[in-house]
Structure 1
């Protein structure tokens, strides 16, 4: 087993001479074997090792005894040991996290605290090949993408997993060979945990009925998908600066430039953008990313989506903004407005749109946000398009009395920083259409209408 672990450490360059390693040790077979192995490697690799133990206070006296066991083991082997007890049931009540999530959060917080205390140490955990197979299967069942299916990574920032190349059986044999007497967590037998049900019920059934080497197959899948994910991520990083720009407090994703990029890379760009704004991807699902993709390609200008972590996405003419608690849009080119020929096509570079007008004797019955239909004879030419102005007001379609444009924007929840880019269509008397949002009552089509003015607003490609 030591040969396998050495080879794994070498393959991923996990250790360097003079490293400090904090070994997470629960007292169970995996972590105890890892601690013992690193103690054996101490002189060989010229490293300093420390043990860290967290009692999550789920199991009362049982977990308290495990803490004592780890402390005594470290004393016997002259390994510096740090340990603490954290009331995770209380954390669960305060945060609403699941038991496993809460335990993981507080455990890694403590491990990083100790790693910093001893001088910038790496953190080693006892995850092994069986854990990898279980993790991949769990993520497949949950419908995860490549990030989940690639499973546990050998190195992830400050974390190293030296035992990922060995199995649970290998570890058990090592403990017997070295006369180690690990403690066994009784909660590992509770069937209310998904991982336990998969380990105890599902994987043995799959081995028996379908593939005796299912664990190897799952680990192989993790490796293959992981390599492909790394390629997608590398591609996304290489084109990041071409697609995404920092605009004060926001990230702006250019819709036109994203259009011809492979869908897998587009997803990764969105995940990277979310992670950069939030610091993590906790709570971000496939659905969230797909929503952003749909919003970018076909969303209504000014529409917004709330994401976990107080992150907000907002659609503009040119693309999509990501920000925390609002936006600060900076792409407001000076635009004073212009006349709209009827019929005709008008390109407005400053707003990223073109406006098409035509007069017909047949009504366009298709209702779309980017299309407005009027009774041409009820309007007062000439038509004009511009940005909003202070004091603007109009009578929205179906509304009794006039309404300030500012109040309309507020009611429609159009972000303040996008309002200057909403085209305002006017006739000789005033506003007839807040482009993409609401027609005015003026020019309303009726049964007596003979000439229909159709205005279409199209995002420029």
Structure 2
């Protein structure tokens, strides 16, 4: 099958181009980008598109790079296409940012494409990555210990960026250039084995092809296709799970319901955790394997008060039924409050967006205290010393927890229970006659526990949001 036909089928398969599109073609001067430009130029009437050319001199290679730029200008002129040929001092940018040469060049290059696409009115940017680049990328990611997302390799389409040659081998591209007498230049840095990617391309892949699998590149391409489809499916499922388990937080933190995560496959949970971090930080990068595993440890092996620190100033901890991720020193500042507790009834606490439901039940009607969650409590109503109020904790508070022989400092109790400092002011305290009878979400008080002599039980339950309406 002729190369032009192969590329046309690949473009149609992924819906890369629509009639009327203006396509900006990134041309370095190497065989791959020159062949891409020539192929699209030959197909432009059939595809009903217009073309423009973009070239950036990264200023790494002096006169050699300037010669590349002149070749691109002349090629564009010979095809009757507008060309945007510019230069940027990437070495200086690298010094300022501390990035590697390749990463600095990549960042500058994509900013250049974005800016030129805007000026040229281009809805697509075509790049010359090919099958050998795909194999190199997948193998590079594999050696770094990637997951499924890394094994899918370079996407054929990502936003406005398209890669029509991604299923074409390098030798087929070079053959096409020779057949059409296309002028090309080779970047000498592509031959330097100081770069890991170059060693993979020049040494590792040829050795694997010679000694293990002569069709290695094809096998890695198939792996990429499979992983791309399966990764897309899992991402869709993770997005659904994220909607189910995430609850509205505030600008600097978010909540994930632990129960929903624990009942879901770890493969989806990992993706939800990554999604939550990206949502909070607004970044397109990702967490490493070990960072995600540290979050999983909070879910499956919760340690009281443990805080996991993540990149970009994000911290995470597990509290009650939530996994919390936040940025900053504390999750929130809760003002002092005190409200009469409606019995029976529902008391809304706007400071923490929480309601407390209170009901009076007989001993026979009451649930088993041993089966209650920390968000529920059962107290002997007739032993409570006075009218009930719900309030925030205060300095000097003391409390006799259920199962303890004496009162103790509330702060000490909360530390021993592993309640993170930033969560303590968000715990509603139910008080009667100056005595704390329930630390909401943690434990009721010993003197007011239900016994066989109890006649009326006070059932308390914490509920999220305003339940009064």
TM-score scaled by length of structure 2: 0.75
Note the alpha carbon deviations across 1:281-334, whole angstroms, 9 max, x for none.
425211121211222333345543232233333322122123343535986535
Note the alpha carbon deviations across 1:163-219, whole angstroms, 9 max, x for none.
011100010001101111211111111111111001111011101111111111111
Q: Does 1:130 align with 2:151?
A: no
Q: Does 1:333 align with 2:354?
A: yes
Q: Which runs of 5+ in 2 are unaligned?
A: 334-350, 359-367, 379-384, 400-407, 443-469
- After superposition, the Cα gap between the structure-2 partners of 1:420 and 1:128, relative to the gap in structure 1 and judged at 3 Å, is same
Displacement of 1:150: 0.6
1:309 match: secondary structure: helix
Check conservation: 1:140, 1:149, Cα contact below 8 A. yes
- Counting only pairs closer than 5 Å after superposition, residues 260-275 of structure 1 correspond to structure 2 as 260-275=263-278
Displacement of 1:45: 1.0
- After superposition, the Cα gap between the structure-2 partners of 1:424 and 1:214, relative to the gap in structure 1 and judged at 3 Å, is farther
Check conservation: 1:317, 1:353, Cα contact below 8 A. no
Q: Does 1:304 align with 2:307?
A: yes
- After superposition, the Cα gap between the structure-2 partners of 1:61 and 1:348, relative to the gap in structure 1 and judged at 3 Å, is farther
RMSD of equivalent CA atoms: 3.7
Q: Which runs of 5+ in 1 are unaligned?
A: 338-343, 356-381, 396-401, 437-461
2:168 match: secondary structure: coil
Check conservation: 1:55, 1:64, Cα contact below 8 A. yes
Match of 2:426 in 1: 420
Match of 2:395 in 1: 391
Question: Which one of the candidate residues 106, 109, 127 is aligned to 1:107?
Answer: 109
Displacement of 1:15: 0.8
> 1-side partners of 2:134 and 2:301: how far apart?
39
Match of 1:155 in 2: 157
Match of 1:217 in 2: 219
Match of 2:27 in 1: 25
- After superposition, the Cα gap between the structure-2 partners of 1:417 and 1:96, relative to the gap in structure 1 and judged at 3 Å, is farther
Match of 2:183 in 1: 181
- Counting only pairs closer than 5 Å after superposition, residues 360-375 of structure 1 correspond to structure 2 as none
> 2-side partners of 1:424 and 1:290: how far apart?
37
Check conservation: 2:291, 2:310, Cα contact below 8 A. yes
**Equivalences, count:** 396
1:246 match: secondary structure: strand
Check conservation: 2:352, 2:426, Cα contact below 8 A. no
Match of 2:347 in 1: none
- After superposition, the Cα gap between the structure-2 partners of 1:92 and 1:352, relative to the gap in structure 1 and judged at 3 Å, is farther
> 1-side partners of 2:242 and 2:170: how far apart?
41
> 2-side partners of 1:26 and 1:312: how far apart?
43
